A and B are shown apart, each in its own frame.
Chain A
Amino acid sequence: KAGVTQTPRYLIKTRGQQVTLSCSPISGHRSVSWYQQTPGQGLQFLFEYFSETQRNKGNFPGRFSGRQFSNSRSEMNVSTLELGDSALYLCASSWGTLTDTQYFGPGTRLTVL
């Protein structure tokens, strides 16, 4: 069974631009969560989508948004990029119940210049 895939794997943007990252979950999984990993901060939860609805949200500014499509694929958008947005963005998928294990994709490395 194919794992979680994320595209693109690497991205370079400049300050003020916007970016869209994509995540395809494991087949059958309905929940997709997004995390930001930066040095010294570990992984920080951005938001979770389940059945096309945002179910949980972390403490990130409104510049960070997401959506989920009917096939469970998810996109994350960051508008008006700042230097501090440079990070590894990881998505994780699960079946969607509270007891499920989350499986992570390889991440998208975003560099903001």
Chain B
Amino acid sequence: DQQVKQNSPSLSVQEGRISILNCDYTNSMFDYFLWYKKYPAEGPTFLISISSIKDKNEDGRFTVFLNKSAKHLSLHIVPSQPGDSAVYFCAASARGGATNKLIFGTGTLLAVQP
């Protein structure tokens, strides 16, 4: 049972445009959400997170939006750069349940074309 879903396995975007990566979850106990970026042959690198008490968090070119009623979050990258090409994983945890266990989606491969 996939509790965190990334329905788009891949996304291609032109350099300078906006990249929007989507993530859906089913477990209403999740209260903390994160995005990680992964290059080949490296471990995932933390990008940005958001608590369920917020609906938006911004860090430079990266913004995460959370829609709790729809159980949906998205990562916006503006402007997209070729160096952003990587696999992006959405993850969730239920910290109110006294666990920091991360449940990951299956990832979206972002390709930013120069």
Contact = CB atoms under 8 A, between A and B. Distances in A.
Interface stretch (A13-21, A76-84, A93-101): A93-101
B104 interface: yes
Interface in A27-77: 31, 33, 35, 40-45, 48, 56, 58
Given A98-B98, A98-B99, A101-B49, A44 B104 contact: yes
Interface residues of A, number: 27
B103 interface: yes
Contacts of A102: 46, 100, 102
A94 B100 contact: yes
A111 B95 CA distance: 34
A102 B102 CA distance: 9
27 contacts: A4-B43, A31-B100, A35-B104, A41-B106, A42-B4, A42-B106, A43-B44, A43-B89, A43-B104, A44-B104, A45-B101, A45-B102, A45-B103, A56-B99, A56-B100, A90-B44, A97-B100, A98-B100, A100-B100, A101-B34, A101-B46, A101-B49, A102-B46, A104-B36, A104-B43, A104-B44, A106-B42
Interface of B: 4, 32, 34, 36, 41-46, 49, 89, 91, 95, 98-107
Given A43-B102, A98-B100, A101-B49, 19 more contacts: A33-B101, A33-B102, A35-B102, A42-B89, A42-B106, A43-B91, A45-B101, A45-B102, A48-B100, A48-B101, A98-B95, A99-B95, A99-B100, A102-B46, A104-B36, A104-B43, A104-B44, A106-B41, A107-B43
